[in-house]
Amino acid sequence: MSAGEIDLLPGERVLWAGEPVQRPLYVAADGVIAPAGLVLAVAALWFLLTTEPAGPAMAAAVVVLVIGLYGAVGREAVRYLALGRTTYAVTDSRVIARTGLFRQKERASELAGLSAPVLKPGPSRTGTLTFAESGSVTLMGVGEPKRVRDLLTKAIDEAKARQAPPEPDTSAA
């Protein structure tokens, strides 16, 4: 992501910009969702093959089959493809992710409201950076993740320091 693609706030400057260098096909949540989707798909397929549903029962079984297949394999494929069109940026006040398979959506989190990033190492010297706050931006498949984590930690500390009220001067008494 270049600085020209980002709608910067007045006075905001880009500290780092990048994109996923590794697109993980599997993430921890898939360990629950994929098997559950597979169970749904198999149950719906079994229902369709062993009974002769008509009308609403047929429609419901097909919907459950599609949902199950999406949970079993579709989620991973969509995430993989979307990460191919993902870009990230860290400014002096925000962390930004622009992603989307068909239409690009931009998500941003204010640095001053974030805790220190947590690095989950990935393959080939990549990693995923997350924050404790729900709904905050996640940086997946980042190259040189330790350097980006350190940069983010410093930027978060500086953003919080700018927002802290000045301490009263007690020396002039």
pLDDT tens for each residue of 137-167: 989 889 999 999 999 999 999 999 888 777 7
Identify any residues that bridge with 129 across adjacent strands, giving them in sequence order: 119, 139
Same structural domain, 158 and 122: yes
- Orientation angle between helical segments 30-50 and 75-83, nearest 10 degrees: 130
Please indicate, yes or no, whether residues 58 and 94 belong to a single structural domain of this protein.
Answer: no
Identify whether the C-beta of residue 38 lies closer than 8 Å to the C-beta of residue 68.
Answer: yes
> Residues 94, 77: one domain?
no
Judgement on whether residues 92 and 14 belong to the same structural domain of the protein: yes
pTM of the predicted structure, to 2 decimals = 0.72
Q: What is the pLDDT of residue 157?
A: 93
Residue 95 burial class via C-beta count within 10 angstroms: exposed 0-12, middle 13-18, buried 19 and up:
buried
pLDDT value at 123 more than 90: no
Contact assessment for residue 140 and residue 158, using Cβ atoms and an 8 Å cutoff: no
Residue 99's domain spans which residues?
A: 3-23+86-163
At 83, the pLDDT band (50, 70, 90 cuts) reads confident
Based on the structure, what is the number of domains in the chain? 2
Amino acid at 114: L
Same domain, 144 and 120: yes
The stretches of the chain forming alpha helices (DSSP H) are: 30-50, 56-69, 75-83, 145-163
